[in-house]
Structure 1
């Protein structure tokens, strides 16, 4: 089955605190062929100018 163009994606990223580079992001994917939604959430935080934690 050819599924090109089947999934639709939408994403959003927002910096909550620029001084510590705290940000959150979310991506929503919908597959029309299987009628399944997938939500992915992530965050980041800068410990110092050279170290960033992402989850």
Structure 2
């Protein structure tokens, strides 16, 4: 899986709603990719803002 492939899954991951196997895929990639780890809090904050909640950085 490339960083570009996992990026769309980050939003689903931070909302705790990945498809079957998706969470493991994202967690694995987060463990190997600094790019993905850096993007995760940003995506979480954007998801939280869209839901009207304060920052959601995982």
TM-score class, shorter-chain normalisation, is under 0.3
Computing the radius of gyration from Cα coordinates, the structure with the larger value is: 1
Q: Which has the higher contact order (CA 8 A, sep 6+)?
A: 2
Instruction: Pick the structure with more strand per residue.
Output: 1
**TM-score of the superposition, structure 1-length normalised?**
0.25
Report the structure, 1 or 2, having the larger helix content: 2
